[in-house]
Amino acid sequence: MEKQHSYPHLFFLAVIAGLLLLLSLISMPARAASLTQETENYCLTCHGDPTIPDLVLPNGDHVSLFIDREVLAASVHSPAGIECEACHTDIKTFPHPEIEYQSARELSRSTYLACQKCHANNYTLTLDSIHARAAEAGNLEAPICTDCHGAHEVQVPDEPRTNVSQTCGTCHDEIYAQYQQSVHGTALSEGNPDVPVCTNCHGVHSIEDPRTEQFRIAEPEMCAGCHADPDLMGKYGLSADVYDVYSLSWHGVDLSVYKARWPTIWHDSAICSDCHGVHDILSTSNPASRVSEENLLVTCQQCHPGVGPNWTGAWTGHYRISLARTPFVFYTNAFYTSFTPVVLWISGIYVILQLIRTIVDRARRSLR
Task: Answer yes or no: do 125 and 183 share one domain.
Answer: no
Choose the most confident range, by mean pLDDT, from 94-98, 106-110, 138-142, 182-186.
Answer: 182-186
Q: How many domains does the chain have?
A: 4
Q: Per the domain annotation, does 144 fall within a domain?
A: yes
Closest CA to 227 of 182, 285, 291, 184: 184
Give every CB contact of residue 89 below 8 A, 6+ residues apart in sequence.
Answer: 114
Q: Per the domain annotation, does 15 fall within a domain?
A: no
Asked whether residue 231 carries a pLDDT value surpassing 80, the answer given is yes
For residues 60 and 82, what is the distance between their CA atoms, to the nearest angstrom?
31
Query: Is the distance from CB of 188 to CB of 165 less than 8 angstroms?
Result: yes
What does the pLDDT average to over 53-70? 94
Task: Answer yes or no: do 177 and 260 share one domain.
Answer: no
Residue after which a domain boundary falls, among 192, 207, 222: 207
The pLDDT assigned to 278 comes to 95
For residues 29 and 47, what is the distance between their CA atoms, to the nearest angstrom?
25
Q: What is the pTM of this model?
A: 0.76
What is the pLDDT confidence band of residue 2, given thresholds at 50, 70 and 90?
Answer: very low
Task: Answer yes or no: do 347 and 302 share one domain.
Answer: no
Asked whether residue 182 carries a pLDDT value surpassing 90, the answer given is yes
Q: Mean pLDDT lowest for which of 19-23, 249-253, 264-268, 360-364?
A: 19-23
Asked whether residue 48 carries a pLDDT value surpassing 80, the answer given is yes
Task: Answer yes or no: do 268 and 305 share one domain.
Answer: yes
Task: Answer yes or no: do 190 and 224 share one domain.
Answer: no
Count of beta carbons in the 10 Å neighbourhood of residue 165: 22
Task: Answer yes or no: do 299 and 226 share one domain.
Answer: yes
The pLDDT assigned to 287 comes to 94
The more confident residue out of 366 and 122 is 122
Give every CB contact of residue 24 below 8 A, 6+ residues apart in sequence.
Answer: none
The pLDDT assigned to 283 comes to 94
What is the pLDDT confidence band of residue 3, given thresholds at 50, 70 and 90?
Answer: very low
What does the pLDDT average to over 287-311? 92
Q: Per the domain annotation, does 9 fall within a domain?
A: no
Task: Answer yes or no: do 34 and 115 share one domain.
Answer: yes
Q: Per the domain annotation, does 7 fall within a domain?
A: no
Q: Per the domain annotation, does 168 fall within a domain?
A: yes
Task: Answer yes or no: do 183 and 221 share one domain.
Answer: no
What is the pLDDT confidence band of residue 331, given thresholds at 50, 70 and 90?
Answer: confident
Q: Per the domain annotation, does 310 fall within a domain?
A: yes
Task: Answer yes or no: do 165 and 145 share one domain.
Answer: no
Closest CA to 266 of 214, 338, 219: 214
Q: Per the domain annotation, does 48 fall within a domain?
A: yes
The pLDDT assigned to 325 comes to 77
The residue range of the domain holding 340 is 324-362
pLDDT in tens, 18-45: 666 665 555 444 444 455 567 788 899 9
E strand segments, 29-95: 55-56, 62-63
Asked whether residue 359 carries a pLDDT value surpassing 50, the answer given is yes
